[in-house]
Structure 1
Amino acid sequence: MILWTTALFASLVAAQTYPPDEVDKLAAASLSKVKDWLAKNPQGNCTLETAVRRKEWMDLTLAQRKEYTDAVLCLMSKPALTSNVAPGAKSRFDDYIVVHVQQTPRNHGSTFFLPWHRYYMWHYEQALRTECGYKGYQPYWNWARYAADPAKSPLFDGSEGSMGGNGAKANYNGIMIPGAPRPYDRIPAADGGGCVTTGPFKNMTVNLGPIAPILQLPRNPRSDGLGYNPRCLRRDVNKNSAAVTTANYTYDLITKNNDVYWFQTVMEGQFPQGKWGVHAGGHYTIGGDPGGDFYTSPGDPAFYLHHTMIDRVWWIWQIQNLDKRTKEVSMTRTMNNFPPSANGTLDDLSGLGVLAPDVKVRDLMNTMGGLDGKFCYIYE
């Protein structure tokens, strides 16, 4: 078993263009725990050998990265399924924004935050594969690799192998963090804020929102933000936000929080204490419009790499004690318990609106055999 783990770790390191950080090393060293758990809890046809390997953005080849962004652009070209409830939705890509907007008050600061987003990321991955011919799997963004200067990183440098560039320089006062004490109540503006003019998404049109804008933007014609409001993709790729996403923060999150309540609380942020958390840090590293809008943030394609990293961090935390942590939920059924609601359970239902049926939360807890065997993936 030790030899198996060492060999796999060596193969992971060899494949990387960045040296493994402490979180990468923990993930690789913990795979033996997955193997042991599977030996005691077989998951049908899902084994470590058959599981999908989701990879970090820069561990994909240039051709693979372009295949991914081409598939996202393809999804943007297909007609929406949600236009009857959201007149502003013009594409299949927009469908995912509509669902996120509609379900934000239920799926953040609640029992559903982690399992619902796992379902959401998987379903988006499936849409890219089944509707746009993508042969790969959903990549993630290892925040720590690029935290020192994300705007100049290969993720956001505007090259053909990136997720698009930063926005042009614009005048705005940064991002307010409601409820946070000074000086943590504002993320200072960086060097962007304007339209993205480089990379695969330079011609992208944002159709929905804003709902919680951080820039001066035309208001949406509907109060729910789901009317048609076309404009450019804007970003302020921000190293002030990225500063809370270095590997030490993620490692401490995984290793110092032994129950899911504190793991999720620290991850999402403790704003009254001036702690943003890696979840907010990653979102506001993208910033701009719609990336900086709490409700419509999936309208920036980089959202999906960020939230796949959120799922990866949860997965690494879970595999430290799979027997316990694939059955552990916390919090209530409403965001920050507003309005007050009962504690959530594994038998509560979680779904994706018109995109996918409700399933029990317990079906979303395990990446190896969850969702009636449809989940079968690990992270490299």
Structure 2
Amino acid sequence: MVGKAVVNALVASLCLFSGVGAWPSTKRQTLSIDDIQKQALANAQKVLDGSLSDGLTRNANCTKSNVAIRKEYGDLSKDERTEYIRAVKCILSKPSKLPAGKYPGAKTRYDDFVVVHMNMTPSVHGTANFMHWHRYYIWAYETALRTECDYKGYQPYWNWGKYSDLPASPIFNGDEWSMGGNGEAVPHQGGFIGRQVPAGPGGGCVKTGPFAGLNITLGPLMGTMDPALKIPSNPQRDGFGNNPRCLRRDVNNFFTKSYLRPTDLSDHIMTNTAIGKFQDSLQNDSPTKAAIHSSGHYSIWGDPGGDVYVSPGEPVFWLHHGQVDRHWWMWANYLEKELKTRTSQYDGGTNWMNPASAKGKATDQQWLDVLAPAGMNGIASNQLFSTTSGPFCYLYQ
């Protein structure tokens, strides 16, 4: 159960800078984000073929011949996008595997992913395992699409710096190969995330593209949209009640034009040399600067996209967090001399709402409950350090 005081504390955590210095003055060679990607991929391939070590035990079943390649959504062919959309719709149609009656709003297998994220939110945001748990979570979703819905591809990502006009991008343009269009244009005052952010061109229900008319049932729990939109409250204080309503979006260019530019992304990777500063500055807004992670979420906004607990109910969540994982992967891999050190770094607490919480350990187990593939629940964080060790076998293109 989340009371008003906890919600206020979470808003403060989400929107206020942690106080960790995010921009060290150490000068390094300036690289474009494309150069960083190329270097990261080249080094990751060397690790895969054994010519470079990251200090970890590589997945013995992962080789250059079978490694999965995750691609940017706009780089997928129309047929590939169609297949991904089909698989997402499939998981949206399958019945929930959660205990009957425990979560009244969980109707589908897709909802299982939302419920687990809601339960895990305090321990997997603002903590040592933010990126590690979400890597595990995205992989479980990709695995479910492949094993439960016969998807042949891999999880695509959304390159934050790629689209100058996000509503018109292949992700949101509303055509049959998109992830659905923007919400209908409705008058609203934007949102409040520690400061007022202007309204985008949407705000209403999504009525174009493959996910037009999608029904949301869980949450809201910590919604950030204008109250004047009168998004219905959940009948349960914990957000797990059955609350059917439309998928809303307010896809906008406010954040992409100021905080998600290619130079913002390359600067963030190159100026944070330790994982503690890297992950804190990735997540925590300052009074004047939105963080990269929140900027991605709030570029979509809406309901449930603007709710930190229920945000996986937005189908583009998975593309956004695929990019979070890619951003971390680039940071860990692009410098050959620092690859071994960066890959194994682990730093931070264990509870977002308690700054004095116990320090996370690399041997801490991570949990996915009914989402985990067979035999894969409770994997230690140190098995999630690399995309080609532990249970993983993928790289980013």
TM-score by length of 1: 0.88
Query: Take 2:252 and 2:348, find their aligned partners in 1: how far apart are those partners?
Result: 31
Q: Following TM superposition, by how much is the alpha carbon of 1:115 offset from its aligned partner in structure 2, in angstroms? A: 0.2
Partner AA of 1:366 in structure 2: S
The amino acid that maps onto 1:39 is S
Partner of 2:379: 359
> Structure 1 residue 31 and structure 2 residue 51: aligned?
no
Of 364, 371, 382, which aligns to 1:348? Answer: 364
Matched residue, 1:103: 120
Determine the C-alpha separation between the residues in 1 that align with 2:112 and 2:196: 31
Q: Mind listing any 5+ residue stretches in structure 2 that lack a counterpart? A: 1-30
2:179 is matched with which residue? 163
- 1:181-196 aligned at under 5 Å gives the runs 185-196=195-206
- Give the 3-state SS of the residue equivalent to 1:94 in structure 2: helix
Q: Distance in 1 between matches of 2:249 and 2:213?
A: 13
Match of 2:61 among 45, 51, 54: 45
Q: Deviations over 1:140-165 (max 9, x none)?
A: 0001111x221111210100111100
Rounded Cα–Cα distance in structure 2 between residues aligned with 1:301 and 1:200: 11
Match of 1:72 in 2: 88
- Which region of structure 1 is more displaced relative to structure 2, 249-258 or 322-331? 322-331
**Residue identity in the other structure for 2:36:** L
Instruction: Please name the residue that 2:246 is paired with.
Output: 232
Residue-by-residue CA offset, 1:31-82 (whole Å, 9 max, x unaligned)? 3322444335462232334311000001110011011011101101000112
Which one of the candidate residues 281, 284, 287 is aligned to 1:266? 281
Aligned equivalents of 1:122, 1:322: Cα separation in 2: 22
Query: Which letter maps to 1:196?
Result: V
Which residue of structure 1 aligns with residue 132 of structure 2?
A: 115
Deviation at 1:212, TM superposition (A): 1.2
Contact 2:178 2:209 in 1 (8 A): yes
* 1:187-221 Cα distance to aligned partner (Å, 9 max, x none): 21111000000001002101111111224211101
Q: Counterpart of 1:123 in structure 2: which amino acid?
A: A
Question: By how many angstroms is 1:27 displaced?
Answer: 1.3
- 1:204-223 mapped onto 2 (5 Å cutoff): 204-213=214-223, 214-215=225-226, 216-223=230-237
Greater displacement, 260-269 / 300-309? 260-269
Alignment root-mean-square deviation, CA: 1.5
What is the match of residue 263 of structure 2? 248
Retained in 2: the 8 A contact 1:187–1:241? no
Task: From 31, 54, 57, give the equivalent of 2:70.
Answer: 54
Which stretch of the first structure deviates more once superposed, 38-47 or 345-354?
38-47
How many residue pairs end up in the alignment?
Answer: 348
**Is 2:336 the counterpart of 1:335?**
no
For normalisation by structure 2, the TM-score amounts to 0.85
Distance (Å, rounded) in 2 between the aligned partners of 1:190 and 1:376: 38
**Structure 1 residue corresponding to 2:316, chosen from 292, 302, 324:** 302
Aligned residue number for residue 27 of structure 2: none
Q: 1:83-112 CA distances to partner (integer Å, 9 max, x unpaired)?
A: 442110010111110011111111000011
- Counterpart selection for 1:282 from 296, 304, 308: 296
Q: Counterparts in 2 of 1:316-331, with a 5 A limit? A: 316-319=330-333, 320=335, 321-331=338-348
Q: Assess if the C-alpha contact under 8 Å between 2:43 and 2:52 holds in 1.
A: no
Q: 1:143 aligns with which of 129, 142, 160?
A: 160
Give unpaired runs (5+ residues) of structure 1.
1-20, 179-184
Which one scores higher on RCO, CA 8 angstroms, separation ≥ 6? Answer: 2
Structure with a larger share of its residues in helix: 1
Shift of 1:339: 5.6
> Do 1:143 and 1:242's aligned partners in 2 also have CA atoms closer than 8 Å?
yes
How high is the sequence identity, in percent, across the aligned residues?
44
Contact 2:205 2:213 in 1 (8 A): no
Structure 1 residue runs of 4 or more that deviate by more than 4 Å after TM superposition: none
C-alpha contact (below 8 Å) 1:54/1:379 kept by paired residues? yes
